[in-house]
Structure 1
């Protein structure tokens, strides 16, 4: 399934925390980004502005190696030793922002940091994925208590199941004065809710209420008011089990069109593939959505996804009644190899399109561009090639209605991307980082296609 939405057609995120930046601060930040050759889309810039309001003025990573504070912007992936030194120089008063985080060269450093969130690419204006993280959640967890935007807690359970399953959750809503909606629903099985049933319930809640929605499983307990996602002002917030597998046990949806797009993509996938577990379908819905619009995602801390028996269960905000097991989260361990490495680093995997762009061309044909060898290439060359490709497509699409860009580190990734593009009957182009991309790149390819077609029709 390919869900195509024109990038830039959604409103910017509505943050609820942080200090409003002054005009002078905006100008200084503009100059800093321009001096570093960094291009951000509106949603990405909104997130950076929010972080500057929380932490202070951003600087580049090469300004100083001691006494770091504020927002530190990384432009190049550090080596192993440099990453360790950089990590040791950070404090809880620092946030790290990586504007070209789709590059696997940043993966090692990301593995040492706490991953707060990502903002997807914004087309030609912001053609990279923005990643932000730091040294733990303590600053945000404390500040979230001041948030005035409170989500509506929603949950469901099988109508034929235990009527007392949600009693603890109901009591918590009363204790924290939170709006909620908990109901029994018709299900195929009396002991569990299937993915498509949960997705349909969430769509119904989305249509019924106007507040941000926070879904938690009916058997969960709330130890504190779960205000972190609404404080961060994101489109969607969820937890990655073992840092790679997305879980639908705790799922936040902000009141944005991007969040609605994710929800409806999840619903369609769940209805089409009811035998696949919900976490992987949510993962695929996230991939589809974040490749087409700048989805502002927060990766919730474990305190929002704690399980009974966890060492940190006593400090949990959301405590689920499931035992510590991966059985419900991913019944086929081998299946995870498709996405595990990239997801641990907050990236789309090579099997997913990194970015989808659409044009005004009134055609159904598409072009798939595969950028190979990105792990073995200079990060600046990879970034420049991505920017040149998106700029060329914006300047002259060559009559191609859609562009799908895939980033591949290894040859087997290239093969998988080619297979996916062939199934969609796309024109396939394979390029290398640093390759010159002229503004008429796509027009030139279309002209070559026309010549080949003419030779085939009139040999």
Structure 2
């Protein structure tokens, strides 16, 4: 099930007037938000919010004072949408709000990340009367290990009358599962059952039925520990092609990197999937990932059988520091592509486009350059089979993106926000099959 494909006429008119390019999944999410919170309002610097404003779209970044004033004028129960969520200039505003979800890019039709958040926990925004598709709780545990945790979870799902499948599996260790074993199990459950899946680590207790993901009609729902570190203890997969693609990427990465911590693999799978397909992600609240001893344990939905400590989940030193700030802001970082596009060309040659100085440039200029570059590649790929576009705010980010591109033997194209993008840009680059910095002045 997905959010309705219907986009209200007034919302479509607002998107046209604001020159916002959204893909189909992002329009569905905005349409769903309109149905829940009323007509959308486009916020401009200096505007005063009204009590009836329930859905606010912010397209221009706010300085620290402006963000503080904006935050204080918001009322509980309203939602803020940032259509250019990939741009780090919006990170400060996002840090003031509770992050609810992200809808990823999809080629030239919608090469931006849509971010949405608000005031207070997401549980208060989802009406309990909202239609919820029936889900299936799935879990597994080492066959040679203790089954008491599985018994506890089975009793919990029976208490809430939820469909469930919990089974022992062969594992390399008696006391824990490797990431590949967990991903393979979830993939088997995907093929076996028709319902959306909610994987819950064996040993967890359910204090109430975990229905928020189905009521929000998303592709993926996961909790971010300390706002940036993704946890594989509670994962929801909607019954969609985008969710299936994410699962396939995660499974493949887990098989290729069996010794890498599962949270890092889950994070990387999310980055790869959300850059190639418009993945509608909901960030589960702490109530879906409570630990024994948490102050809010009594009000939690899912409580895992771990003591309230960061020793198990993070911060993990193997998680790259350069990725932490972007993940806190619900966006990909400088080592990850914002958008990945495949061309009709059968060529294995790829081009990495690095967009400089996004932290100091006008947000609209950055967005327009992203639109122009992806549109140019869609119209004339120059014989390249693949494009990867990365945003960089600082010199060290540019260096990291350049190294990543060269390690993949990609041609490198470095551009600046606001510069003209000629229609034959990629054909010109292909003639040299090397690296280039388009020589245009800064604006």
State the TM bucket, normalised to the shorter chain. over 0.9
Given the alignment of the two structures, is residue 108 of structure 1 paired with residue 92 of structure 2, yes or no?
Answer: yes
Alpha-carbon separation, structure 1, partners of 2:194 and 2:61: 42
The counterpart of 1:294, out of the listed 278, 289, 295, is 278
The counterpart of 2:178, out of the listed 180, 191, 194, is 194
Alpha-carbon separation, structure 1, partners of 2:375 and 2:170: 50
Q: Aligned runs of 1:325-340 on 2, under 5 Å?
A: 325-330=309-314, 332-333=316-317, 335-340=319-324
What is the CA deviation profile of residues 270-294 of structure 1, one whole-angstrom value per residue up to 9, with x for unaligned ones? Answer: 1111111111000000011001000
Instruction: Identify the range of structure 1 (136-145 vs 260-269) with the bigger mean alpha-carbon deviation.
Output: 136-145
Shift of 1:56: 0.3
Q: Match of 1:37?
A: 19
Q: Match of 1:130?
A: 114
Shift of 1:138: 5.3
Q: Match of 1:247?
A: 231
Shift of 1:435: 1.4
Alpha-carbon separation, structure 2, partners of 1:331 and 1:375: 26
The counterpart of 2:260, out of the listed 260, 265, 276, is 276
The counterpart of 1:14, out of the listed 2, 26, 36, is 2
Alpha-carbon separation, structure 2, partners of 1:307 and 1:179: 24
Alpha-carbon separation, structure 1, partners of 2:118 and 2:421: 36
Q: Match of 1:394?
A: 378
Alpha-carbon separation, structure 2, partners of 1:145 and 1:250: 24
Alpha-carbon separation, structure 2, partners of 1:200 and 1:206: 10
Name the SS for the 1:30 alignment partner.
helix
CA shift in 2, pair 1:148/1:374, >3 Å: closer
Alpha-carbon separation, structure 2, partners of 1:321 and 1:192: 13
What is the CA deviation profile of residues 132-176 of structure 1, one whole-angstrom value per residue up to 9, with x for unaligned ones? Answer: 111123565651454331210001111111122222211121111
Alpha-carbon separation, structure 2, partners of 1:55 and 1:240: 25
Instruction: Identify the range of structure 1 (111-120 vs 138-147) with the bigger mean alpha-carbon deviation.
Output: 138-147
What is the CA deviation profile of residues 154-206 of structure 1, one whole-angstrom value per residue up to 9, with x for unaligned ones? Answer: 01111111122222211121111100001111111111111111111101111
CA shift in 2, pair 1:425/1:142, >3 Å: closer
Unaligned runs of 5+ in 1: 1-12, 453-459
Q: Match of 1:256?
A: 240
Q: Match of 1:309?
A: 293
Alpha-carbon separation, structure 1, partners of 2:421 and 2:153: 56
Given the alignment of the two structures, is residue 376 of structure 1 paired with residue 360 of structure 2, yes or no?
Answer: yes
Alpha-carbon separation, structure 2, partners of 1:46 and 1:142: 17
Instruction: Identify the range of structure 1 (202-211 vs 329-338) with the bigger mean alpha-carbon deviation.
Output: 329-338
Contact (CA 8 Å) 1:68, 1:94: kept in 2 or not? no
Contact (CA 8 Å) 1:120, 1:290: kept in 2 or not? yes
Q: Match of 2:57?
A: 73
Q: Match of 2:304?
A: 320
Contact (CA 8 Å) 2:264, 2:319: kept in 1 or not? no
Shift of 1:364: 0.9
Q: Aligned runs of 1:360-375 on 2, under 5 Å?
A: 360-375=344-359
What is the CA deviation profile of residues 367-402 of structure 1, one whole-angstrom value per residue up to 9, with x for unaligned ones? Answer: 100001111111111111101101111111111111
Instruction: Identify the range of structure 1 (392-401 vs 224-233) with the bigger mean alpha-carbon deviation.
Output: 392-401
CA shift in 2, pair 1:255/1:374, >3 Å: same
Q: Aligned runs of 1:399-418 on 2, under 5 Å?
A: 399-418=383-402
What is the CA deviation profile of residues 75-108 of structure 1, one whole-angstrom value per residue up to 9, with x for unaligned ones? Answer: 1011101101111111123111100011111101
TM-score computed with the length of structure 1 as normaliser? 0.91
Alpha-carbon separation, structure 2, partners of 1:86 and 1:246: 29
Name the SS for the 2:8 alignment partner.
helix
Name the SS for the 1:72 alignment partner.
strand
Alpha-carbon separation, structure 1, partners of 2:211 and 2:50: 34
Contact (CA 8 Å) 1:15, 1:231: kept in 2 or not? no
Given the alignment of the two structures, is residue 85 of structure 1 paired with residue 73 of structure 2, yes or no?
Answer: no
Contact (CA 8 Å) 1:67, 1:89: kept in 2 or not? no
Name the SS for the 1:124 alignment partner.
coil
Contact (CA 8 Å) 1:140, 1:228: kept in 2 or not? no
Contact (CA 8 Å) 1:95, 1:133: kept in 2 or not? yes
Unaligned runs of 5+ in 2: 437-443
Instruction: Identify the range of structure 1 (404-413 vs 147-156) with the bigger mean alpha-carbon deviation.
Output: 147-156
Alpha-carbon separation, structure 2, partners of 1:331 and 1:142: 30
Alpha-carbon separation, structure 1, partners of 2:142 and 2:238: 26
Contact (CA 8 Å) 2:126, 2:215: kept in 1 or not? no
